[in-house]
Structure formats: structure tokens, C-alpha cells
């Protein structure tokens, strides 16, 4: 049985829109470039993250609340994780935006899906950034050495 997925039909590829009143200058070209550049940086950030968490010390057995507290006591890891959060979210959001533009046929459907996508992205980026910079290892009940 062969599966037939309709060919994508991005507005941006339709000559009628490319130079029309809705043209958005270089935005799509910059977005295309961003996917490649952020992809390269993500490889470094992701493998650095996996190496530090799984290959050093006792590996996966070391992962705990205290391990995270220890990492986020160091500003290098705070900014590493912040960069990972922001880049992966912007990369993933832009990728899903492209898929929505390619496959959602009605204007209203496209607008709704992208609206939900952007709200979810802002929520996760803001919440994640707040967690990284307001994280307090000494919550009630914590028995970490530095809290005693």
C-alpha cells in the first residue's frame, strides 16, 4: 500500500505572492539560514549537555536534584542551558511554522495553528528562563550540604 502525502504548497513559493504586497523582504531567507546555523550550534550544545550529564563522574546514576543544583550554581551551565532552551525552541518553532505554512490550507486554520504555536513557545521560553535563573536549591526539606 502506498502512502500519498500531498505536495507542500507554501504561499512563499507561489510567484503570485513572492513580489506581491504581502512580500516580507528577506524574512524567509533569513529563517532558512537560521535553521542551518542554529542546527550546527545545537549539535555542539546537545552533545556538550549529554557528555556532561552522562559521560562524566558516575554517569546517569549521578542525575538528581543535587546534580542539577550543582550545575546551575555555575553561570557557564546556566548560560549553556539557556542557549539550548532558546535555540531549540526558536529552531523547533520555526520548523513547525514552515510545516503549518506548507500544509494548512485555510487562512483561518493557519492563523490559529500559528497563534497556538507562538503562545506555547513564549510560555515555555519564559518559564524555562525563569527556572534557570531563579532556581533555589535550598527549598524546604532539601538536605543539600550547602543548605544546612
> What dihedral angle (degrees, nearest 10) is formed by the CA atoms of 17, 23, 26, 31?
-70
- Please tell me the distance from the alpha carbon of residue 8 to that of residue 102, in angstroms, as a whole number: 5
Q: Residue 37, interface with ligand HEM (CB under 6 A)?
A: no
Instruction: Please report, as residue ranges, which positions from 2 to 21 form the binding site for ligand HEM (by CB under 6 A).
Output: none
- Please tell me the distance from the alpha carbon of residue 43 to that of residue 39, in angstroms, as a whole number: 6
Name the minimum Å distance from CB 102 to ligand HEM.
8
Instruction: Please report, as residue ranges, which positions from 128 to 147 form the binding site for ligand HEM (by CB under 6 A).
Output: none
- Please tell me the distance from the alpha carbon of residue 78 to that of residue 72, in angstroms, as a whole number: 5
Q: Residue 52, interface with ligand HEM (CB under 6 A)?
A: no
Q: Which stretch binds ligand HEM (CB under 6 A): 36-44, 62-70, 111-119, 134-142?
A: 36-44
- Interface residue with ligand HEM among 31, 42, 124, 132 (CB under 6 A) is 42
Name the minimum Å distance from CB 63 to ligand HEM.
20
Q: Residue 83, interface with ligand HEM (CB under 6 A)?
A: no
In our burial notation (b when 16+ CB lie closer than 10 A, e otherwise), range 38-60 reads beeebeebeeeeeeebeeeeeee
For ligand HEM, which is the closer residue by CB, 18 or 99?
99
For ligand HEM, which is the closer residue by CB, 42 or 52?
42
Name the minimum Å distance from CB 99 to ligand HEM.
6
- Binding-site ranges for ligand HEM (CB under 6 A): 35-36, 39, 42-43, 46, 88, 91-92, 95-96, 98-99
Amino acid at each position: 500500500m502506498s502512502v500519498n502525502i500531498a505536495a507542500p504548497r507554501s504561499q512563499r513559493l507561489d510567484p503570485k505572492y513572492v513580489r506581491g504586497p504581502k512580500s516580507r523582504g528577506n524574512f524567509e531567507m533569513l529563517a532558512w539560514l537560521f535553521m542551518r546555523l542554529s542546527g550546527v550550534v545545537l549539535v555542539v550544545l546537545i552533545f556538550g549537555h549529554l557528555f556532561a550529564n552522562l559521560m562524566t563522574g558516575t554517569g546517569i546514576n549521578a542525575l538528581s536534584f543535587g546534580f542539577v543544583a550543582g550545575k546551575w550554581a555555575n553561570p557557564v551551565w546556566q548560560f549553556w542551558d539557556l542557549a539550548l532552551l532558546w535555540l531549540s525552541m526558536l529552531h523547533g518553532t520555526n520548523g513547525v511554522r514552515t510545516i503549518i505554512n506548507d500544509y494548512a490550507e485555510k487562512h483561518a486554520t493557519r492563523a490559529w495553528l500559528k497563534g497556538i504555536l507562538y503562545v506555547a513557545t513564549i510560555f515555555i521560553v519564559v518559564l524555562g528562563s525563569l527556572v534557570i535563573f531563579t532556581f533555589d536549591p535550598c527549598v524546604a526539606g532539601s538536605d543539600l550540604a550547602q543548605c544546612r
